[in-house]
Amino acid sequence: MIPYDENNVFAKILRGEIPCNVIDENDEALAFADVNPQAPNHVLIIPKGAYVSFADFSERATSTEIVKLVKLIGKVARELGLQESGYRLLANHGEDAHQEVPHFHVHLCGGRPLGALLSARTP
Ligand code: AMP
């Protein structure tokens, strides 16, 4: 697994060096709008701690960090009114998943029918 890069864009957002559109937060996690939305609602939820990806987070994060991240995801979905219509959660880990930013993040997308999970392209 690649080492954590303190200069990744989400680390800069957490340090306040880059602006973001905050949706909600708690003491362990931050939710903000994706800059290139793929759906009417596209929010990224990240831990405030330094974790490269889901693999890193699931291995090293404390129970409190995990619970607060999960709770924030559910809260944001409710706040956006997506509970009834539905939404998709997605986290990319590593090269095959095309992870671009090496700070663990969960995509929350909704606000329109999202279609099948993966494109029809053959592997
Ligand atoms: P991933 O491919 O899972 O690593 O997704 C990275 C996501 O971060 C993409 O959807 C980008 O649009 C988003 N992103 C990159 N830079 C920013 C930024 N400064 N503010 C908000 N979202 C960003």
Q: Got the DSSP string for the chain?
A: -PPP-TTSHHHHHHTTSS---EEEE-SSEEEEE-SS-SSSEEEEEEESS---SHHHHHHH--HHHHHHHHHHHHHHHHHTT-TTT-EEEE---STTTT--SSS--EEEEESS----SS-S---
Question: What residue owns the CA closest to ligand 1's atom 17?
Answer: 35
CA distances 120 to 31, 71, 80, 116, Å, are 30, 32, 29, 9
Mean of the pLDDT values across residues 55-67?
98
Pocket of ligand 1 contains residue 18 by CB under 6 Å: yes
- In this structure, are residues 11 and 52 in contact, taking their beta carbons and an 8 Å threshold? no
Name the superfamily (CATH) of residues 9-110.
Answer: HIT-like (3.30.428.10)
Q: 80-105 pLDDT, tens per residue?
A: 999 999 999 999 999 999 999 999 99
Model confidence at 122: pLDDT above 80: no
| Reported pTM | 0.96
Instruction: Give tens-digit pLDDT for 16-58.
Output: 999 999 999 999 999 999 999 999 999 999 999 999 999 999 9
Mutation to probe ligand 1, out of 5, 17, 22, 100 (largest number of atoms < 8 A from CB)? 100
**Cα dist. 77→32, 87, 99, 112 in Å?**
12, 8, 23, 14
Please identify every residue annotated as catalytic: 105
**Nearest ligand 1 atom to alpha carbon 33:** 21
Task: Give me the residue spans of the domains in the chain.
Answer: 9-110
Q: Name the closest-CA residue to atom 15, ligand 1.
A: 35
